[in-house]
Amino acid sequence: MSRSTIWRILDQDALKPWQHRSWLFPRDPQFAEKAGRVLDLYAGYWEGQPLQPEDCVISADEKTSIQARARRHATTPPRPGQAMRVEHEYARGGALAYLAAWDVRRGGVIGRCEPTTGIEPFGRLVEQVMSQEPYRSAPRVFWLVDNGSSHRGDKAVRRLQARYPNLILVHLPTHASWLNQVELYFSIVQRKVLTPNDFPDLAALEHRLLAFETLYNDTAVPFHWRFTRQQLDDRLAALPALAVQRLPPTSLPAPAAPPGTPPARAA
């Protein structure tokens, strides 16, 4: 039987054991509640009430460890019938972090580059946003963030609200970065700015990131977000009920003794 025949038979079968998809089961006991608040904000609601026209919604995160890779030989531009050629070997020119805040309701991004992430770098991003209009005088500015150490937990909520009374920090559930709209902008940056990675140094990398940000903002519009709270509820209800049963250690059979081992003496 030929290989193509075997492949055709297997491809027609309902079960394809050689294929798999990775996934994460929600471990946050408040996943639905936390994710629902974020989806409500995307839909223009907070705690069951419509947002005011002056309210702002910011989706923020950090894109970490962006390397500047200086290629050993110059990249050649594309030609008719020939793709761009990028040298495989490179010298590492260091790395930086790109922090960005995406305006969910109006479109557009405000970002900055930092040597690393942390509470202070994130605080500088918040100050950069909140010191300008319309955020400075908005009645409420909702900041949607994940659970990274730069803005984790109630301490971050209290710290930021003490400095900016109109700021409301909203945490996503664990393992829910796919609900953070700034990740869509990071995906665009990865494809249009950082690929291929060919930067002589960190200064060139930072210049490219901020120049693209300015260019993108010239025509930026809000993302057309379609995933709703109802779809979230339906998806969570459809998850398989995985019950992992673990035997206690005393109930496990003892390993077999190697051949020739004398029997153990009674105590």
Q: Are the beta carbons of 27 and 174 closer than 8 angstroms? A: yes
How confident is the model over 43-90, as pLDDT tens digits? Answer: 999 999 999 999 999 999 999 999 999 899 888 889 999 999 999 999
Q: Are the beta carbons of 119 and 99 closer than 8 angstroms? A: no
How confident is the model over 235-260, as pLDDT tens digits? Answer: 888 876 543 434 444 444 455 555 55
Taking CA atoms, 172 is separated from 1, 44, 222, in Å, by 53, 17, 20
Q: Across the chain, what does the average pLDDT equal?
A: 89
CA separation for the pair 78, 96 (Å, rounded): 29
Q: What are residue 189's phi and psi, to 5 degrees? A: -60, -40
For 112, the token pair is 């900055």
Kindly list the averaged pLDDT for each block of 10 residues, start to end, along the chain of length 267.
85 81 81 95 97 98 95 90 91 96 98 97 98 98 96 96 98 93 98 95 97 98 95 86 44 51 52
SS3 (DSSP) at 134: coil
pLDDT score of 221 = 97
Ranges of beta strands (E only) in 165-225 are 167-171
Sketch the domain layout of the chain as residue ranges: 28-70+88-165+174-230
Helix axis angle for 182-192 and 202-217, nearest 10°, is 120
Q: Quick one: fold of 28-70+88-165+174-230? A: Nucleotidyltransferase; domain 5 (3.30.420)
Matching residue, tokens 């869509």: 184
For 111-131, b/e burial (b = at least 16 CB within 10 A) is bbbbeebeeebbbebbeebbe
DSSP state of 251: G
